[in-house]
Amino acid sequence: MSEDTPAAIRTRELTKEFGRHRVVDSIDLAVPDGAVYGFLGPNGSGKTTTIRMLLGLARPTGGKISVLGVPVPDRAPDVLGRVGALVEGPAFHPQLTGRANLARLDAADAGSDPRTAADRIDAALRRVGLHQARDKRYRVYSLGMKQRLGIAAGLLVPRDLLILDEPTNGLDPQGTREVRHLIGSLAAEGITVLVSSHLLSEIEQVCTHLGVMRDGRLVAQGPIDELRARGRATLRLVTTDPDRAGEVLRRLGAEDVDRTGETVTASADGLEPEAVVAALVRGGVGVREFGVRAASLEDVFIGLTGEGFDVSG
């Protein structure tokens, strides 16, 4: 992404140190306008600290931040009214209803108009699918409902950017689906969304762009299709003559040839499946099964970070 491309968030060599420990190490984030940007990384990789700096909740040790074209933290008050956020989980009064909780938050916002509060609160509840539960006490809400109420709190006034830190953390599959669908609907309205997570499978379903953190460093970012294209496709065949099959594949220039029982795998980069099958047949190899699997994002990120992600939903 070039410097001339409009960006909702852009950082340059953003760094944060706690004592001698550098938790965010010179990262250059670029979140395009209108994107759903998945901010991925194992727990402890620096995602939440980065988000806190973007929101002016923590001061960088070094580097620069621009949020919606405004430098942060120096001019944070000028822009944060256009940013909704859910960081480290929602916090509400358990004895109050969903609507009453939002009313308290809205009343505490010096920039909100009390004359339009009721309409805005109802609109925010409808937006996240909680209008029918607006008069239920927060303590009886499910985890998914609690997360959605936290997002509603960030939507009490019009926002251009929404930042969500681990919005599906601790949710069951139904709650996770609810939050994922909500993120998709907000993006369809033109809101830029940055969503931090360690759940790769959930992020992959909703995001247009990804950034990957590892030990405080941004090891990759870009459109999701470009990142997926970095991976290597894998050829897999089942045969009664795996040794001979391996020899044929190596002669064709295949790399990473491996055998497990009657199954042979290899990198499929640069190989045409039709040519591989023809060469195996000419070499007298009986092929029981044959296929080529495209690289998954999990494969790409294991290569980038040296470890996998939690892919459970």
Position 230 pLDDT exceeds 60:
yes
Position 305 pLDDT exceeds 70:
no
Mean confidence (pLDDT) of the chain = 89
DSSP the chain: --TTS-EEEEEEEEEEEETTEEEEEEE--EEETT-EEEEE--TTSSHHHHHHHHTTSS--SEEEEEETTEEETTTHHHHGGGEEEE-SS----TTSBHHHHHHHHHHT-TTS-GGGHHHHHHHHHHHTT-GGGTTSBGGGS-HHHHHHHHHHHTTSS--SEEEEESTTTT--HHHHHHHHHHHHHHHHTT-EEEEEESBHHHHHHH-SEEEEEETTEEEEEEEHHHHHTTS--EEEEEES-HHHHHHHHHHTT--S-EEETTEEEEE-TT--HHHHHHHHHHTTPPEEEEEEEPPPHHHHHHHHHSS--B---
Percent of the chain with pLDDT over 90: 61
Q: What is the mean pLDDT of residues 220-241?
A: 88
Q: What pLDDT was estimated at residue 311?
A: 43
Q: What pLDDT was estimated at residue 235?
A: 92
Q: What pLDDT was estimated at residue 306?
A: 65
pLDDT tier, 312 (very low <50, low <70, confident <90, very high otherwise): very low
Q: What is the mean pLDDT of residues 273-299?
A: 90
pLDDT, tens digit, 9 for 90 and up, residues 26-84: 999 999 999 999 998 888 889 999 999 999 999 999 999 999 999 999 999 999 989 99
pLDDT tier, 134 (very low <50, low <70, confident <90, very high otherwise): very high
Q: What is the mean pLDDT of residues 7-14?
A: 96
Q: What pLDDT was estimated at residue 313?
A: 37
* Ranges for all domains in the chain classified under CATH 3.30.70: 234-294
Position 300 pLDDT exceeds 80:
no
Q: What pLDDT was estimated at residue 64?
A: 96
Q: What is the mean pLDDT of residues 85-93?
A: 83
Position 263 pLDDT exceeds 50:
yes
How far is it, in rounded angstroms, from Cα 163 to Cα 67? 11
CATH code, residues 7-228 = 3.40.50.300
- What fold does the segment set 234-294 form as a domain? Alpha-Beta Plaits (3.30.70)
pLDDT, tens digit, 9 for 90 and up, residues 113-133: 899 999 999 999 998 889 999
The answer to whether 309 touches 199, Cβ cutoff 8 Å, is: yes
Q: What pLDDT was estimated at residue 124?
A: 93
Q: Give CA separation, 3 vs 25, 34, 55, in Å.
A: 20, 16, 22
Per-residue b/e over 40-65, b at no fewer than 16 CB within 10 Å? bbbeebbbbbbbbbbbbebebeebeb
Q: What pLDDT was estimated at residue 41?
A: 84
Q: What is the mean pLDDT of residues 204-225?
A: 91
Q: Which residues have a Cβ under 8 Å from the Cβ of 262 and sit 6 or more positions away?
A: 238, 239, 240, 242, 288
Q: What pLDDT was estimated at residue 1?
A: 60
* Ranges for all domains in the chain classified under CATH 3.40.50.300: 7-228
pLDDT, greater one: 255 or 204? 255
